Amino acid sequence: MGKQGSSPRGRRVENEDLDISFGLKEHEFRSLDLQHGGDSPIGRRLSGGEYNWDKVVLTKGMKNDSAKFTPCKGVYVGKRQMWWLHRHIRSIVFTLLLMGFLYLLDSLLLSIFDPVMLQSNFSLQGSSKTEVEMVPRAAKEGPVKLYERLLNLAASSLAERELKQESSKLWEEPYPQASSWKPCADKTSPLVVRAGKPRNITGYILISANGGLNQQRVAVCNAVAVASLLNATLVIPKFLYSNVWKDPSQFGDIYQEDYFMDMLKDEVNIMKELPPNLKLLDVEAAGSLITDADLSKEATPDEYIEKILPLLLRNRVVHFLGYGNRLGFDPLPYEFQRLRCKCNFHALKFVPEIQQIGSLLVRRIRRYDFARSTLDKQLLGNLIPHVPLRHYHAAEGPSKYLALHLRFEIDMVAYSMCEFGGGETERSELQTYREVHFPLLLERLKKSKPLSPQELRKTGKCPLTPEEAGLVLAGLCFKHGTYIYLAGSDIYGGQSRMQALTTLYPNLVTKEDLLTPSELAPFRNFSSQLAALDFIACATSDVFAMTDSGSQLSSLVSGFRTYYGGGHAPTLRPSKKRLSVILSRNKTIGWHSFEGKIRKMIDEGQRVQVRGLGRSIYRHPRCKECMCRH
């Protein structure tokens, strides 16, 4: 009897009888400038929560054990327990409240920086969530993090800024001089007007352009200039099928043919097909088939006149096979340079099918349905309204977004010969890819001493990883809740490689997130048409961030934003060489010092400068041939 009614036995509370519950509510971590809107956010990763303590019934267990006490000793023990509970009730309540507060704080921090937030839970009317397509690594390893210390500092800084409601200053162009440059390549020269429409006195030029969407765009505009230079008629260009791109799209599937011809009709003769009497000509047998081997990479006008014009006059047809970057930028007469700009910025309009889905894409990420800038109007035409379709509440504000072009696909990674922290598995995987896709690269490397991966990184030859891109954005003070549109989706390394970026910036979406499978279906097997949607989303974004200045998409998008942005379309251009120097101190550098160096690096790339000698006119249109300075 004594053992059964002893004090320790009487104080025990069985687990199944303890009524302690935690009410978990959804905690939405969003910035104050978006709290006014009533719409559910697009692409927000929300997790964590506020915790409510329910009442704790401490006497429940004692009631269940009361039948075990003896009439005397049991009553005595019960009274002693109640006395002890009464004496220490304040301490118990304080302890429970302290534990609850700590648990709440811990959960709040986890909700901000938990990698679980990689999965988006947004929903759109008429749309469905799809997985971001990414290239998986062969080994099922954990997340690849090269700069874990800096990532932790970045996370702390983002949390601090979120509480202070501090925002990046780079949502606007830092230099007001940018707004003094205006588009004017479409203004026809008085000399051209007086001369009238050029006559076909030399022959016809056929173009078969290689590469993807952006390489083909450059080839088309170079061909327009060459046709004008040689006073020839240009036949609507053809696009070569590539085993890499696997896209059978032709010019008319991407661009409006009639608009293209009409825009350039006063300066270049353009036809859809060769005349019937020339269709049967064997251009190769006639010696009129021109490949890259027959021209310098950036040939001068004199080279075209010396090599191509005689063939054109003799055979009436010249076919440029695999044509691309085969016309230099300098020296080139004013009129031909201006014609390049007119072609790129005015004559090449996407077909209505691409404009319609591009408009839908932009409207969904912004959460409003009307054109806001000249960029919108130029890229989307009449398929984005110039006035709101519904009553628009200014207090809600448009959703700003940053477009990020991560050039970290497996082809880019393999070709760079760099290493990215994946160890032997990564080296083996990339070497296998090179053997299949880049055999000429490997042969060339055998004949020379290649640079080590460390030397390549120091010289700025390595593409930026998603982790490095995230650190740059954090260093520029873009908030944790910034909406980011990711151009492209086949990121090498898959989710494990993306985790560092999406932990810092969970509101990251792609076209696959924003559009339904049925909306994407017409473009699914046409990579160039999908790339056109990325082009539109990047060009019309509030801020465009590139990670590789050599990328054709980044170059053309940044040029478009310069030409039509009116000084209100900032582009971030990190220097890979300078960034490698900054990141080499990742184990010792303080966060404030890191921020200062990143801002200085980006600031230098945003200065308003006139196009330098030999620089691409498509990327740097600030020059007298393309733009007018007011």
Reply yes or no on whether the pLDDT at 615 is more than 90.
Answer: yes
> Where are the strands (E) in 67-226, listed by range?
134-135, 181-183, 204-209
Asked if residues 178 and 608 have their Cβ atoms less than 8 Å apart, the reply is: yes
Strand partners, 402: 484, 543
**17 or 85: which carries more pLDDT confidence?**
85
- How many CA atoms within 13 Å lie on the side-chain side of 246? 4
pLDDT band at residue 260 using 50, 70 and 90 as cut-offs:
very high
Among the listed ranges 27-31, 76-80, 208-212, which one has the minimum average pLDDT value?
27-31
DSSP one-letter code for 211: S
- How many CA atoms within 13 Å lie on the side-chain side of 174? 15
Reply yes or no on whether the pLDDT at 54 is more than 50.
Answer: no
Rounded CA gap, 5 and 15, in Å? Answer: 20
Reply yes or no on whether the pLDDT at 405 is more than 90.
Answer: yes
DSSP one-letter code for 385: -
pLDDT band at residue 161 using 50, 70 and 90 as cut-offs:
confident
Mean pLDDT along residues 592-614: 93
Mean pLDDT along residues 362-382: 83
The pTM of the full predicted model, rounded to 2 decimals, is 0.77
pLDDT band at residue 488 using 50, 70 and 90 as cut-offs:
confident
Asked if residues 124 and 367 have their Cβ atoms less than 8 Å apart, the reply is: no
State the DSSP H helix or E strand holding residue 187, giving kind and residue range, or none if neither.
none
Per DSSP bridges, beta strands 134-135 and 491-492 are parallel
Mean pLDDT along residues 559-574: 95
| Exposed e or buried b per residue across 289-305, where buried means at least 16 C-beta atoms within 10 angstroms of its C-beta | bbeeeebeeebebebbe
Determine the pLDDT at residue 387.
52
Rounded CA gap, 294 and 285, in Å? Answer: 16
Rounded CA gap, 90 and 87, in Å? Answer: 8
Asked if residues 228 and 335 have their Cβ atoms less than 8 Å apart, the reply is: yes
Asked if residues 155 and 503 have their Cβ atoms less than 8 Å apart, the reply is: yes
Strand partners, 271: 235
Is the CA virtual torsion 490, 603, 565, 182 positive or negative?
A: negative
